[in-house]
Copies of this chain bind each other. A is one copy, B any other.
């Protein structure tokens, strides 16, 4: 019995009772998915992140909020980039951090996922930051951890990547303020994207004026409209008058699976170029969760151009992760950095 086995036999998580993520006082207990989070809570996370964003620009980028707490990065899927952002966020809150790459450790000895979890939680740790290739893995873990341990989903299969969506909302809010008047377009491989799924939920919870998805049929989930989005197959139509363009990363594996003809052809049809971007509003911002495939989903002139806020997203990602960790473990809110 290996850890992948245990998880891949689980059903895909449907909508969850909010009690899965919130405690009896309505405070954040785990962060597994954006779906079902109250708007006030998302706003509180973004407000708390503001104070950490300010702190990150000071000379001493460290607060003692989580001193004596232990955060475990439990990565079943390698991602130095993502792991690094959580590691930095935890260290700047003064927590101790353990990085555990499961594929190369416990499972070698045939230990099951649950035994591994039980073991690490017995070491009096406070939070698991979980990345796993199987959808629902973070929920599975949250359902089984000890009561004093929190779970932060750092990406599970095609399902959810809530901190990415929150940092995207933070970025949009910083540039655009009010969501109710915005047109936001998400472009590319919606079907396989946990990022897109979480963004759509967040945008809708925040009452965004219009959420569009732009993709070929082969890269859209069935009944995508039920998520509350307008579907466009033509990028020129879809980009018209939008205030925010969110490009998704194209996974090369999709080509091999026959869902797409070639990178070149994808760029011809859905790549973001300066010319196409001109169809959006003049002060439109361009976002990407990174790492971008230049020349595949986005032209370098756009990725590095005046509308791009891609690197701001990375910066805000630290602040947003600090906010979530601080709220769950340290009771941070609003003026979290001053706690």
Give A residues with C-beta under 8 Å from B. 56-62, 67-70, 78, 80-81, 84-85, 87-88, 91-92, 96, 98, 100-101, 104-106, 108-112, 115-116, 118-120, 122-125, 290-294, 311-312, 314-315, 317-318
Contacts and interface: CB of A to CB of B under 8 A. Distances in A.
A333 to B, nearest CB: 18
Nearest to A317: B123
6 contacts: A59-B68, A70-B88, A81-B106, A88-B123, A115-B290, A122-B312
B80 A100 contact: yes
A96 B88 contact: yes
Contact of A291 (B87, B88, B111): B111
Number of copies: 3
B105 A78 contact: yes
A256 B304 CA distance: 44
A161 to B, nearest CB: 15
Contact of A80 (B56, B106, B123): B106
A238 B150 CA distance: 43
A292 B115 contact: yes
Given A68-B92, A110-B291, A124-B315, 16 more contacts: A57-B124, A58-B68, A59-B68, A80-B105, A84-B120, A88-B96, A88-B125, A91-B96, A109-B291, A112-B294, A115-B291, A116-B291, A119-B290, A122-B311, A123-B317, A124-B318
A164 to B, nearest CB: 14
A60 B67 contact: yes
